[in-house]
């Protein structure tokens, strides 16, 4: 029996070896044989199915974005995902939150929790919310920013309440806490691109300092330095994170803040006049330079370019209104500062002409011409005042032709109208005083006609030349009218 079994196994093994040899020979023959040219199927013929047992894999040279896509299942919206269980869960969390608020309110009103525990609890809650915001950045960005904003707001409130409500610590402690929270808010806003947190941090940094009485404690020079530091920080944040709205809002608010600080404090103005000039000029230069740095950093034009250009035009008015009108600055130093500020603007415009957009170059140049005009006005006064304004109107007209901006056109028209009304009044006075005015009236008539033609034909070069010539004629006419009067 054993011999027959061994013989049977040997026969089966030999058959298997023979079969394996045949399969290997067949495989070698198929591999070595060149692929014959397969004639294309006739047009309209159905594609034959692949042989049984063979799998058709996608070709590796077909790009992924060209591969056929299967239909995706539609994801349910957040409203469709709300079930009874989810609704009850959130309702329970809401009731738990209200119960916690009621418990804390009762404990505070009855004296169970002292001021120290109240402040510690508020700070802990703010830090927890900020931590939750950082934790949920990747999965829930909207919730993350909401937690971050809420936590930072609580920390700002705690910094002010420690001194004003709870009588814990002095103004110095509140100021240091405000600076710390500001640094935290700026860091989080930059790290996670939370623009809402940037706005909250900016307004919190300004308002809490006033709330705790820092201007009265440290003096307005320190507050001016503080606002200048905020200008540098938040303009840098605008440049880094491409937030033009932040640039516009912070610029306008800082203008109003720096003008409002010294309004009711004459002693501050008299004793620290140089300091207020330095910080106003420094903040104006930061606001001027920020859009240029943004363009050089990102090599692109933001969507609020023209609005930012028009905000730039307010910078000279901001500077002169703060340093001259409010504080009766002497005309000599005013003209010198005008030359310095104008030189910065014009030099930056000329240097960066080929590296920044046209609107930014025009705004820089126009802002510089504004400063020059104001400087001439304060230096010479009298007829030069209107001459400088006429020159300003001419500059706006030229820039309007370059930018094709209706806003610049109307601004030039209004400036020319203001000059015309004032000079018309002077002409009437000259008539009443029997001054020579006949030639001046003819000159004014020629100017009016020329400007009307130039305005009507402003879309072509001839009309622009006529309008520009009319402005130059107005300047000559202004000088001829005022030549009979003294300066001042």
More confident residue, 326 or 187: 187
385-423 pLDDT, tens per residue?
555 555 555 665 666 666 555 655 665 566 556 556 656
Distance, CA of 370 to CA of 376 (rounded, Å): 10
139-191 pLDDT, tens per residue?
888 788 888 888 888 888 888 887 766 667 778 888 898 999 999 999 999 99
pTM of the full predicted structure? 0.53
Nearest to 365 by CA among 387, 345, 338: 345
pLDDT bucket at 268, cuts 50 / 70 / 90 = low
Q: Where are the alpha helices (DSSP H) in 242-330?
A: 244-260, 266-271, 273-298, 305-320
More confident residue, 86 or 383: 86
In sequence order, which residues have a C-beta less than 8 Å from that of residue 208 and are 6 or more positions away?
156, 159, 160, 174, 178
Torsion of CA 96, 102, 103, 107, to 10 degrees: 160
Percent of the chain at pLDDT exceeding 90: 4
pLDDT bucket at 375, cuts 50 / 70 / 90 = low
Distance, CA of 365 to CA of 288 (rounded, Å): 11
CA atoms within 13 A on the CB side of 122: 20
Mean pLDDT score of the chain, rounded to an integer?
A: 67
In sequence order, which residues have a C-beta less than 8 Å from that of residue 223 and are 6 or more positions away?
209, 214, 215, 261
Percent of the chain at pLDDT exceeding 70: 38
pLDDT bucket at 198, cuts 50 / 70 / 90 = very high
What number is the average pLDDT over the span 21-40?
A: 67
pLDDT bucket at 347, cuts 50 / 70 / 90 = low
Phi, psi of 34 (to 5 degrees): -70, 150
User: What is residue 355's predicted lDDT score, i.e. its pLDDT?
Assistant: 57
Cβ atoms of 281 and 341 within 8 Å: the answer is yes
User: What is residue 244's predicted lDDT score, i.e. its pLDDT?
Assistant: 76
74-115 pLDDT, tens per residue?
555 445 555 676 667 667 666 766 666 666 666 656 666 667
Positive or negative, the CA dihedral 429, 430, 434, 438 is negative
Angle at alpha carbon of residue 357, lines to 395 and 455, rounded to 5°? 35
Which region, left, alpha or beta, applies to residue 188 given φ > 0 means left and ψ of -120 to 50 means alpha? alpha
Distance, CA of 207 to CA of 220 (rounded, Å): 15
Q: Is the pLDDT of residue 444 over 70?
A: no
């Amino acid at each position: 029996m054993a011999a027959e079994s061994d013989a049977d196994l040997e026969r089966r093994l030999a058959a298997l070896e023979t079969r394996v040899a045949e399969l290997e020979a067949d495989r070698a023959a198929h591999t070595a044989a060149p692929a014959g040219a397969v004639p294309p199927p006739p047009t309209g013929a159905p594609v034959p199915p692949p042989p049984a047992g063979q799998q058709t894999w996608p070709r590796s040279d077909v790009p992924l974005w060209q591969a056929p896509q299967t239909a995706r299942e539609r994801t349910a919206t957040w409203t469709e995902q709300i079930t009874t269980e989810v609704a009850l869960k959130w309702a329970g969390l809401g009731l738990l939150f209200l119960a916690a608020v009621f418990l804390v309110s009762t404990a505070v009103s009855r004296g169970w929790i002292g001021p120290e525990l109240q402040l510690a609890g508020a700070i802990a809650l703010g830090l927890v919310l900020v931590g939750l915001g950082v934790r949920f950045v990747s999965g829930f960005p909207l919730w993350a920013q909401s937690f971050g904003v809420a936590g930072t707001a609580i920390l700002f409130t705690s910094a002010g309440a420690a001194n004003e409500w709870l009588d814990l610590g002095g103004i110095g402690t509140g100021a240091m806490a405000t600076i710390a929270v500001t640094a935290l808010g700026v860091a989080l806003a930059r790290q996670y691109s939370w623009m809402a947190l940037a706005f909250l941090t900016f307004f919190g940094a300004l308002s809490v300092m006033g709330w705790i009485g820092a201007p009265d404690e440290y003096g307005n020079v320190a507050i001016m330095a503080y606002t200048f530091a905020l200008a540098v920080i938040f303009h840098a944040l605008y440049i880094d994170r491409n937030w033009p709205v932040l640039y516009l809002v912070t610029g306008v608010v800082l203008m109003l803040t720096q003008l409002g600080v010294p309004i009711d404090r004459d002693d501050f103005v008299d004793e620290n006049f140089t300091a207020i000039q330095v910080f106003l000029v420094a903040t104006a230069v930061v606001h001027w330079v920020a859009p240029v740095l943004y363009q050089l950093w990102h090599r692109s034009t933001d969507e609020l370019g023209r609005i930012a250009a028009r905000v730039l035009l307010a910078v000279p008015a901001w500077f002169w209104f703060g340093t001259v009108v409010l504080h009766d600055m002497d005309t000599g130093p005013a003209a010198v500062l005008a030359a310095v500020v104008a030189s910065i603007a014009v030099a930056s415009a000329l240097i960066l002409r080929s590296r920044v957009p046209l609107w930014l170059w025009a705004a820089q140049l126009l802002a510089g011409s504004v400063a020059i005009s104001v400087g001439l006005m304060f230096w010479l006064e009298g007829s030069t005042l209107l001459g400088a304004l006429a020159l300003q109107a001419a500059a706006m007209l030229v820039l309007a032709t370059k930018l094709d901006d209706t806003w610049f056109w109307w601004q030039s028209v209004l400036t020319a109208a203001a000059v015309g009304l004032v000079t018309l009044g002077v002409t009437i006075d000259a008539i009443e005083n029997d001054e020579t005015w006949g030639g001046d009236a003819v000159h004014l008539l020629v100017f009016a006609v020329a400007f009307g033609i130039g305005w009507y034909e402003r879309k072509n070069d001839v009309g622009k030349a006529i309008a520009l010539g009319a402005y130059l004629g107005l300047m000559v006419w202004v000088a001829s009218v005022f030549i009979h009067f003294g300066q001042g």
